[in-house]
Structure 1
Amino acid sequence: MELGPMSFLLMLFCISALLIKLLKLNDSSKKSKKLRLPPGPKPWPIIGNLLEMIANKPTLRWIQNIMNDLKTEIACIQLGNVHVIPVISPSIAREILMKQDAIFASRPLSWSSKYVSSGYLTTTITPFGEQWKKMKRVIVEELISPKRHQWLHDKRMEEADNLVHYVYNQIKNGNGLVDLRHVGQHYGGNLIRRLLFNKRYFGNGSEDGGPGAEELEYVDALLLVVRHIYAFSVSDYLPWLRWFDFEGHKKILKKATNTIKKYNDPIIKERIHQWRNGTRTHQEDWLDVLISLKDANNNPFLTMEEIKSQILEIAVGTMDNPYNNVEWVLSEMLNQPEMLQKAIQELDIVVGKERLVQESDIPKLNYVKACLREGFRLHPIVDFNIPHVSMKDTIVANYFIPKGSHVLIRRQGIGQNPRVWEEPLKFKPERHLKKDGCNLTLVEPNLELFTFGIGRRGCPAIILGTTVTVMLFARLVHGFTWIPPPNEPVIDLTELGRDTTKAKPLVALGKPRLPAKVYHQLMN
């Protein structure tokens, strides 16, 4: 059921008036009067600051403005009976995610996360407990171990080759203009389908190596789930309103999730049938690994629903960061071509011009990785990480954090924190280079920028995430020359209003820069 904003506000005021005399503050609220909560706007009884949130969309900008106005690195915004704690200080983030990691290791209970995970059967968005421990062990030990990473090397390289093949065809068959957001998104989509299902396309794809209608629909659905799963829905903070869909998030999430399942689930069902009847006996991808896992009694370790749900979560979780990072970095460097030239020079020294970049080159590409780190610092895909939930009352930075609080590490707030970074709004890859010239990584253990996170809930796929991001950027920069399009001499770096993605997709004029034989080998 959907209600208009005015109807919702009227209903909310009526309900609040009826309940305000009936409800008492809980124990943690009483305690918070004795111990100081982080600074924030004064909440209304029952509804907290929900009215202000509704009136000041998008929510991320509203929270940014609150913290700026209060000149604070940690705040408390009460939404319903939930204390939302945004943080932009690396030292406070370390206290939460390292020193008190065990307290903040859970996730919020919400309609959206429950629906997408089929009742919390997965890893990333599942609250702390035995199911989370079980699925995390599967991910870490069975899917993304160094041994498995090497096992899937050839599949990753096939998609890196197809990336160059597709861009080369777009340049040769068109006017040279390439939508690099589209290219990055579908490189990520192809890659995850290859790792999960050992297939690039659900349908026939396109002759030039690009996506077909099925892949376009699938990737769009994945990105919709990313955008809406923790989207500050009113009903997530007032449980007695969960039957309503005030913002329309539920409708969008249901449609997007069902689209993903439409493609995933038939493959999973058929593959399970093949393993059970003995027509399939050899592991080729992650799906085979999940199906093949056995318990102590030699029975399947995972149910079909667990496999379906985890596959969906993996597909959603691997889509957004690489393409967003590379699009922003290329945009920044097209406006500062001397930096782009430095990256090209490093690639030519390490790789040469007679072959394409390989994964084995990554340790030597320090300037390339410095550029990508700077992209993560300035332009994260979303401002907030997935919320952490405090499992008991605690003290952080001398402030009281009640049990059940949702802690949001503001990635862009940390990355642009002027107490940490000089000229925080300027794109300067050199700031990440080490004087000793040793292997630079995309990991940031001090949380002075947010890449893979840290602690129990940090992203475990560091090797894979690094490989995918570096290969996408390096193949584009090494394989092609890029300049701004004729009608846009300076690339527009404006953010989209609703989030931190680039408002306009990056379209650039490209041409091949390596000998023709390098590309012709891919055609064959």
Structure 2
Amino acid sequence: MFLSVNQLIALFSLCFLTPFIIRKFLSKRRPLPPGPRGYPVVGALPLLGRTPHVALAKMAKLYGPIMYMKVGSRGMVVASTPEAARTFLKTLESNFLNRPTHAGPTILAYDSQDMVFAPYGPRWRLLRKLSSLHMLGGKALDDWADLRAAELGHTLQAMHQSSVRGEAVVVAEVLVYAMANMIGRVVLSRRVFETKGRELNEFKDMVVELMTTAGYFNIGDFIPWMGWMDLQGIEKGMRKLHEKFDVLISKMLKEHLESRNKRKNRPDLLDVMLTNRDDVDSPEQERLTTTNIKALLLNLFTAGTDTSSSAIEWALAEMLKNPEILRKAHDEMDRVIGRNRRLVESDIPNLPYLQAVCKETFRKHPSTPLNLPRSSAEACTVDGYYIPKNTRLSVNIWAIGRDPRVWENPLDFNPERFLSEKYAKIDPKGTDFELIPFGAGRRICAGTRMGVVMVECLLGTLVHSFDWKFDGESMDMEETFGLALQKAVPLATFVTPRLPPSCYVGSN
């Protein structure tokens, strides 16, 4: 028996509307946090626009510090104040330790086999332990301080040569060159790029593309039945990018294995990981796979270069926009260090204004505007609101840094605020929820300590070593959204040496 047209329409309407009726009925019994209604099928996805962190911050002013919305068919809760972030990342942390499944880590990060997106468990703890012991932890950072200093010498030499030739310095290029080589010397026992050139530029572009595309709100992640169409072309681009990175990382592995015997007395991080992989006497859950190793290398060479470099670029842009801040930084450094030698890391505790500039940059321009998403393992209640199971959690770190209830004149770049009694003790390493540029809790960025050291050390060295001059009419401060918050227009500026020529000589 065939149904009439009217019966078909009625049946379709019933199927389409039933979930909404059930949700509305349940929400009366267990109220969800307030939030935008959105549209049928796509939910609030169109409301996020090209800068979701800004759109969500505006919504929070209407709906409050904890919002709930449907993005496609997925539920998402957004925390936009220090108190809300503390609730999710500390009080309810054990319920939000895993990441939601989506295309970015599946395609780019070897099906989430890396440290950033891996499920919380033994393999994730092993990746974290090895990288902390041999690269990212406090003792490891101290052990490779000399390598950082040597690599900074190469960077200063290249910048000095640019100044002699009268060429502008493209800050992002300089920073990626320095950081990729620093990481390469710890992970691979060698510099990745001997000179700035085509290979460096290709690598930089790949890193920026990865950090940008991985932050997109991909339609297929939120409306799974539309995923196969890849309407935005995001997944196609990710697959091409993954192939490029896999070729690069596979080459690193191959070359490293061929030269392994040369490093028996001083193994690097990759040697340690390969030894762990090849240890057949260890239980399987305590051994890495080749895929884990490749995925971790991807983490270190992308997030390790891009997040810190973007923070330093923003800091320099703000200082050039506000020359008085640059003058004060120079005055402090000249008083503490003088102008006859380079800055060394042991100088940094004696440079409170430099540290304040770095904190102010983390506040106003957090490298990660929205924390990497988490997912609720079970339903829970927050401030009387019901949060369903498998709800995606986003903490708007950018909004917290610009909350006028927390920060006086939050749109101003004012390092002095961190020298005042009110803010002096606030630390960016995840304990003070007013300033969490690296996240917080057990899944805080594993490179938090390294990130702070790199930003303070590189920014301080660059500022102390050169006078900076921006020739443009006005500084463009537009943002490009992604996992990391990029400057839309890269900073290019002219530099003039402030120190004796001997300070600009590279070393091995």
Contact 1:86/1:409 (<8 A) preserved: yes
Partner of 1:9: none
Q: Which residue of the partner structure matches residue 292 of structure 1?
A: 275
| Residue 306 (structure 1) aligns with | 292
1:143 equivalent in alignment to 2:135: yes
For residue 295 of structure 1, report the CA deviation from its aligned partner.
Answer: 4.9
Alpha-carbon distance in structure 2 between the residues aligned to 1:17 and 1:256? 41
Q: Is 1:341 paired with 2:334?
A: no
CA 1:267–1:517: 2 relative to 1, 3 Å: closer
User: Aligned pair in 2 of structure 1 residues 57, 513: CA closer, same or farther (>3 Å)?
Assistant: closer
Q: Which amino acid aligns with 2:89?
A: L
- Confirm or deny that 1:317 pairs with 2:303: yes
Give the letter aligned to residue 95 of structure 2.
Answer: I
Contact 2:131 2:269 in 1 (8 A): no
Aligned amino acid, residue 291 of structure 1: L
Instruction: Sort the Cα spacing of 1:500 and 1:454 in 2 relative to 1 into closer, same or farther, 3 A.
Output: closer
Larger relative contact order (CA 8 Å, sep ≥ 6): 2
Map 1:170-189 onto structure 2 (within 5 A). 170-175=162-167, 177-189=168-180
Superposed structure 1 runs of 4+ greater than 6 Å apart:
25-30, 436-440
Distance (whole Å) between structure 1 residues aligned to residue 341 and residue 269 of structure 2:
29
Report the Cα offset of residue 114 of structure 1: 1.4
1:142: how far off? 4.1
Map of 1:40 onto structure 2: 35
Among residues 418, 436, 441, which one is paired with 1:450 in the alignment? 436
Question: Among residues 61, 67, 77, which one is paired with 2:60 in the alignment?
Answer: 67
2:449 paired residue among 441, 460, 463: 463
Pairing 1:346-357 to 2, within 5 Å after superposition: 346-357=332-343
Q: Answer whether contact 1:37 1:76 (CA < 8 A) is retained.
A: yes
Give 3-state SS (helix, strand or coil) of 1:327's partner: helix
Partner deviation per Cα, 1:411-466 (whole Å, 9 max, x = no partner): 11000001111111011111112559999854352211222221111123233111
Residue 492 (structure 1) aligns with:
476
**Equivalent residues of 2:99, 2:375 under 8 A apart:** yes
Q: CA deviation at 1:185?
A: 2.9
The aligned counterpart of 2:5 is none
Call closer, same or farther: CA 1:402–1:167 in 2, change over 3 Å.
same
Q: How does 1:205-224 map to 2 (within 5 A)?
A: 205-206=194-195, 211-224=196-209
CA deviation after TM superposition for structure 1 residue 477, in Å: 0.6
SS of 2:229's equivalent? Answer: coil
Distance in 2 (alpha carbons) for counterparts of 1:395 and 1:479? 53
2:248 aligns to what SS in structure 1? helix
Report the alpha carbon displacement of residue 19 of structure 1 after superposing the two structures with TM. Answer: 9.3
Q: Which moved more, 1:491-500 or 1:166-175?
A: 491-500
SS in 2 for 1:522: coil
TM-score, length-normalised on structure 1?
0.86
Q: Distance in 2 between matches of 1:217 and 1:82?
A: 36
SS in 2 for 1:76: strand
Q: Number of residue pairs matched?
A: 495
Q: 1:502 to 1:223 in 2, by over 3 A?
A: closer
**TM norm structure 2:** 0.89
* Paired residue type of 2:398: Q
Q: Tell me, what secondary structure is at the counterpart of 2:65?
A: coil
- Assess if the C-alpha contact under 8 Å between 2:173 and 2:201 holds in 1: no
1:155 is matched with: 147
> Partner residue of 1:49?
44
Query: Aligned partner of 2:169: which letter?
Result: V
Alpha-carbon contact 1:190-1:200 (below 8 Å) kept: yes
State the identity as a percent.
29
* Distance in 2, Cα, partners of 1:109 & 1:459: 19
Task: Please tell me whether the aligned partners of residues 76 and 391 of structure 2 are also in contact (alpha carbons under 8 angstroms).
Answer: yes
Higher mean alpha-carbon deviation, 27-36 vs 408-417, is at: 27-36
- Which residue of 2 is the match for residue 5 of structure 1? none
Partner of 1:241: 226
Matches within 5 A, 1:23-422: 24=19, 31-44=26-39, 46-50=41-45, 52=47, 56-68=49-61, 70-175=62-167, 177-201=168-192, 205-206=194-195, 211-272=196-257, 274-275=259-260, 278=261, 280-293=263-276, 295=279, 297=281, 301-422=287-408
> Closer, same or farther in 2 for the Cα pair 1:364/1:28, shift >3 Å?
farther
1:199/1:219 Cα in 2 relative to 1: closer, same or farther (>3 Å)?
A: farther
Cα distance change of structure 1 residues 112 and 345 upon mapping to structure 2, 3 Å threshold: same
Write out per-residue CA displacement over residues 116-154 of structure 1, whole angstroms, 9 at most, x where no aligned residue.
221222211123333323322333344323332223222
Which is worse superposed, 257-266 or 371-380?
257-266
* Matched letter for residue 282 of structure 1: N
The whole-number CA distance in structure 2 between the counterparts of 1:274 and 1:482 is: 42
Query: What residue number does 2:416 align with?
Result: 430
2-side partners of 1:437 and 1:347: how far apart?
Answer: 22
Q: Is the 8 A contact 2:308 2:367 kept in 1?
A: no
Q: Which amino acid aligns with 1:387?
A: P
Structure 1: where are the runs of 5+ without partners? 1-13
Closer, same or farther: CA 304–472 of 1 in aligned 2, 3 Å: same
SS in 1 for 2:95: coil
The alpha-carbon distance between structure 1 residues 118 and 17, as it changes in their structure 2 partners (threshold 3 A), is farther
Is residue 307–residue 368 contact of structure 2 (8 Å, CA) maintained in 1?
no
Asked if 2 retains the 8 angstrom alpha-carbon contact of 1:106 and 1:390, the reply is yes
Residue number in structure 2 paired with 1:10: none
Matches within 5 A, 1:483-522: 483-485=469-471, 487-488=472-473, 490-496=474-480, 500-519=485-504, 521-522=505-506
CA separation of 1:264 and 1:29: change in aligned 2, threshold 3 A: farther
**Distance change (3 Å), C-alpha of 1:134 and 1:27:** farther
Amino acid at match of 1:511: T
How far does residue 26 in structure 1 lie from its aligned partner after superposition?
11
